[in-house]
């Protein structure tokens, strides 16, 4: 597809050799790591956003599917940023629903933490809150796939920002004991965001659950609390 090639060439022109060398280590693309086999050309996110701004209105979902199915990480990330822009700019409920369905159908290509975190809550989270479809996120949380579970909990960011806390607490508890550090970080991160919105909600959750939380989740969750409170949780004094 001509437009896809044009976008790929635009991204290649912005590639930096030092980033190409650094990203495989940063995104854990080595043998046996969670992103094994992922390929990088070395384009920073700010530079990707320049390309996204220039092309998101022109590109079709069919063309986005080709970009999103690439083994090149920056192509997939740029495709998702374009999808977010399309969703946020759309005034057509049918078009927005089509984007949600496209996102879910192609989620096998959304397979690293940045790809998940920079797209899911702006599409799935918003859709689920505005259309009372939280079962969609519960279904993702029940999947065996790490990225689907992370997608579910990070999508509650939209709920939290709107002062809705029950779903984030439910989904954090659902996968609280997941074996992967990336889930520990995601759970703690979303709890921290909840605490920044309503500290009492966070404190109540922590007092009930901190003793069974992975240490990483706890540290992320309490990062913005008063130091005395932080130390009480870390030392198990509640």
Are 36 and 71 members of one domain? yes
For 139-157, write each residue's pLDDT tens digit.
999 999 999 999 999 999 9
| Domain that residue 176 falls in | 121-238
Are 149 and 212 members of one domain? yes
Phi, psi of 32 (to 5 degrees): 85, -5
pTM: 0.95
For 72-83, write each residue's pLDDT tens digit.
999 999 999 999
Look up tokens 């997608």; give the residue. 151
Are 34 and 90 members of one domain? yes
How far apart are the C-alpha atoms of 186 and 191, rounded to whole Å?
A: 9
Across the strands, what pairs with 72?
39
Q: Quick check: helix, strand or coil at residue 55?
A: helix
pLDDT band at 133 (very low <50, low <70, confident <90, very high): very high
Look up tokens 């220039």; give the residue. 54
Are 136 and 94 members of one domain? no
pLDDT band at 114 (very low <50, low <70, confident <90, very high): very high
pLDDT band at 6 (very low <50, low <70, confident <90, very high): very high
Phi, psi of 111 (to 5 degrees): -130, 40
Are 135 and 104 members of one domain? no
Are 100 and 140 members of one domain? no
Q: Quick check: helix, strand or coil at residue 60?
A: coil
The domain that holds 173 is classified in CATH as 1.25.10.90
Give pLDDT, residue 235: 86
Are 54 and 143 members of one domain? no
DSSP letter (8 states) at residue 144: S
Q: Residue 1 pLDDT > 80, yes or no?
A: no
Are 190 and 131 members of one domain? yes
Asked which of 118, 150, 179 is the last residue of a domain, the reply is 118
């Amino acid at each position: 597809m001509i437009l896809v090639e044009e976008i790929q060439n635009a991204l290649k022109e912005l590639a930096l050799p030092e980033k190409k060398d650094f990203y495989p280590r940063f995104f854990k693309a080595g043998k046996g790591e969670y992103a094994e086999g992922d390929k990088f050309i070395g384009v920073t996110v700010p530079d990707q956003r320049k390309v996204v701004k220039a092309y998101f209105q022109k590109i079709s979902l069919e063309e986005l599917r080709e970009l999103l199915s690439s083994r090149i990480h920056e192509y997939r990330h740029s495709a998702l940023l374009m999808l977010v822009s399309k969703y946020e700019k759309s005034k057509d409920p049918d078009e927005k629903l089509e984007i949600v369905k496209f996102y879910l159908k192609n989620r096998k290509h959304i397979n690293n933490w940045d790809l998940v975190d920079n797209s899911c809550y702006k599409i799935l989270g918003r859709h689920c809150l505005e259309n009372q479809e939280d079962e969609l996120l519960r279904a993702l949380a029940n999947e065996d796939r790490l990225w689907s579970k992370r997608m579910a909990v990070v999508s509650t960011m939209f709920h939290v920002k709107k002062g809705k806390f029950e779903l984030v607490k439910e989904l954090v508890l659902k996968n609280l004991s997941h074996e992967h550090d990336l889930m520990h970080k995601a759970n703690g991160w979303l709890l921290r965001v909840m605490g920044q919105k309503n500290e009492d909600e966070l404190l109540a959750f922590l007092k009930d659950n901190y003793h069974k939380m992975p240490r990483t989740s706890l540290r992320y969750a309490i990062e913005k609390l008063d130091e005395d409170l932080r130390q009480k949780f870390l030392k198990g004094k509640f």
